[in-house]
Structure formats: C-alpha cells, structure tokens
Structure 1
Amino acid sequence: MEIEIKLKQLLKERNIKQYQLSEMTGLTTRTISELVNNQIERIPKQAICKIAEVLEIEDIREIIDFEK
C-alpha cells in the first residue's frame, strides 16, 4: 500500500495551473511539482494545510489517500 497524492486531479478539475497554486499558497513551484507528480518521499504537513486552505478542502482524503 502506498500514499497517493491526488493534487494533479484536483488541479485539473478546478482548472488551476501548478504555477497558479504556487502563487496562491506561497509554496515553491518545485514543491507543487513534486506533490503533483508524486515524487516526494515526505509529505510536508504545512504544504498540505496551505493547499487545503486555498482550495477550500475540509477532508484530507481529497488531497491524499491510500493506493492499493
């Protein structure tokens, strides 16, 4: 079982580009890119909180979930 970061899907559904999310959250484009492409080993809690706040997400499972 692995953790899946569903940010790519969320951005596509909301028609938001990675650079736009970077500007909205104050996170670097590199951090956003690594999260979108599931290339990050440790998920930064602050980054996920900022993304959830900006995208008005109340359920963390909309951003991350388990992949079987």
Structure 2
Amino acid sequence: MNNHEIELKLYTLLIENRMTYQELADITGLSTRTISTLVNNKMERIPKAALSKIAAAFELDDIRDLIDFKNEDKKDHQ
C-alpha cells in the first residue's frame, strides 16, 4: 500500500499570482509565519478555515488546485 503524502501547492500559487506572503496574510487574516509553514508543507494539521481562506484569496473553484498528493521529485521551498 502506498503512503501518499499530501502537499499544499501554495508556493506555486504565490508565484503564479505574483503575491507575497504578506499580501496573502493581509487578504486571509493568517499570519506570515503560518503562511510560511504552509508554503514549506511543515504543518501536520491544516485547519479547514485556513484552506477556505486561501482558496477564496486565489478564487479557486477546485480544491485540487490547492492541495494534492506530493510529487517525490519536489523539494521544500525555502
């Protein structure tokens, strides 16, 4: 049985939308520290409210645009 690790595609969304951590923090009400933790996929439990706020900030219609199974070739974004 495969152990699928979940990752947030937040780094990609920030780059594609030319948005900074601070700008996303201002829009969502999340702290820049929380956003950094999410970008680097270091948070074990992600509150649904945070996912909803981020999805709304990027006007996402599909949750898979934000969260997916991790691709083993990717490294942390630092």
TM-score w.r.t. structure 2 length? 0.82
Deviation at 1:53, TM superposition (A): 0.8
Unaligned runs of 5+ in 1: none
Instruction: Identify unmatched segments of 5+ residues in structure 2.
Output: 72-78
> Which structure has the highest strand share of the two?
1
Higher helix share: 1
Q: Is structure 2 residue 32 aligned with structure 1 residue 29?
A: yes
Aligned residue pairs, count: 68
What are the superposed Cα offsets for residues 11-55 of structure 1, whole Å, 9 maximum, x if unpaired? 001100011100011111111111111010001110010011111
% identical equivalent positions: 54
TM norm structure 1? 0.94
Post-superposition shift, 1:60? 0.5
Larger relative contact order, structure 1 or 2 (CA cutoff 8 Å, min sep 6): 1
- Greater C-alpha radius of gyration: 2
- Please tell me the root mean square deviation across aligned C-alpha atoms, in Å: 0.9
**One-letter code aligned to 1:41:** E
